[in-house]
């Protein structure tokens, strides 16, 4: 401990993150991480690129080559640092609509990934966490209110979950980031809450894991993704949780982990899951990812780590 299941580097996420992949890994080692998953973004169709990528002249073919370069570098670095840290190899999916499915399946089939994160950063084809203008545009397309946009977000998220069954579900309630009330209690919108519960039911049904993602704290919110009421509902469904810092460079590794213990305690989360790379065996849990091992650890066993207790 500590662990993180979600990270990015400036080397393979240019314009959106900082630092080389090796420097990121070395920083995680220096902070006594025992497991640090590598999860750069997958390629996306040209229409789904972020503004910074369009400005840099990225194309689908360039993003496909970037992914191949990432995998090659990650495998080399995993071998180099194998005695110091566990480095599961993954990617963060980008569900921008059903047209994304082919690219996601291509990534899974083409490269030796241990797992992937199922994320949604777009609604109605518009990025909802990049800037306020994008969020406002998506809200207008969804019907003109935050509530309507929330409903569409969790609806599109459900499509992603059904199509992909991701081993880890990323920042489940990311949609609140640019909203009028980022610390909204989801119970206050029954129509939205119903959709959230439906999504949690599905994740629990196939054994998916929710990440508790501290990026929300870094961005000024009172609780990580997802909020307490979602964690409690998932716990009632016997769901599993893992930890993520969603770091975008050396400076963000382990950020706000010291706030995790009180959050876990308030929500009666006593067991955490962690994912790691193993030599393939006949006992694979998921035929798509035969090198993935899912283990559990008691929160009480890791509570004393300095990263979770720093001043």
pLDDT given at position 83: 96
pLDDT given at position 55: 64
Q: Would you state the CATH architecture of domain 3-7+20-54+61-294+301-308?
A: Alpha-Beta Barrel (3.20)
Q: What distance in Å separates the CA atoms of residue 174 and residue 199, rounded to the nearest whole number? A: 14
Q: Can you give the pTM of this predicted structure?
A: 0.95
pLDDT given at position 1: 64
User: Where exactly are the structural domains of the chain?
Assistant: 3-7+20-54+61-294+301-308
Tens of each residue's pLDDT in the chain, 311 residues: 689 999 999 899 877 788 899 999 999 999 999 999 999 999 999 889 877 776 667 889 999 999 999 999 999 999 999 999 999 999 999 999 999 999 999 999 999 999 999 999 999 999 999 999 999 999 999 999 999 999 999 999 999 999 999 999 999 999 999 999 999 999 999 999 999 999 999 999 999 999 999 999 999 999 999 999 999 999 999 999 999 999 999 999 999 999 998 999 999 999 999 999 998 766 656 788 999 999 999 998 877 666 666 53
């Amino acid at each position: 401990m500590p662990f993180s299941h979600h990270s990015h580097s400036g080397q393979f996420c240019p314009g959106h993150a900082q630092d080389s992949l090796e420097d990121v890994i070395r920083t995680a080692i220096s902070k006594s991480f025992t497991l640090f998953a590598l999860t750069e973004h997958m390629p996306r169709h040209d229409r789904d690129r972020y503004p910074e990528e369009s400005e840099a002249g990225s194309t689908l073919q360039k993003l496909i080559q970037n992914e191949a370069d990432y995998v090659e570098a990650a495998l080399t670095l995993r071998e180099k640092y194998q005695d110091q840290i566990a480095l599961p190899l993954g990617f963060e999916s980008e569900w921008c609509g059903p047209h994304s499915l082919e690219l996601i399946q291509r990534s899974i089939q083409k490269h030796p990934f241990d797992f992937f994160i199922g994320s949604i950063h777009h609604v109605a084809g518009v990025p909802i966490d990049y800037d306020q203008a994008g969020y406002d545009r998506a809200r207008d397309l969804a019907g003109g209110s935050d509530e309507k946009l929330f409903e569409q977000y969790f609806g599109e998220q459900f499509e992603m979950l059904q199509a992909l069954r991701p081993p880890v579900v990323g920042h489940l309630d990311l949609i609140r980031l640019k909203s009028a009330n980022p610390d909204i209690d989801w119970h206050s919108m029954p129509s939205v809450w119903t959709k959230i519960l439906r999504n949690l039911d599905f994740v629990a049904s196939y054994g998916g894991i929710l990440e508790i993602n501290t990026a929300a704290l870094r961005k000024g919110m009172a609780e990580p993704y997802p909020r307490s009421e979602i964690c409690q509902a998932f716990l009632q469904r016997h769901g599993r949780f893992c930890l993520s810092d969603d770091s975008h460079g050396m400076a963000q590794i382990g950020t706000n982990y010291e706030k995790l213990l009180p959050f876990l305690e308030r929500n009666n989360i006593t067991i955490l899951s962690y994912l790691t790379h193993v030599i393939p065996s006949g006992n694979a849990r998921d035929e798509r990812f035969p090198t993935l091992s899912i283990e559990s650890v008691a929160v009480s066993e890791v509570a004393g780590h300095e990263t979770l207790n720093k001043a």
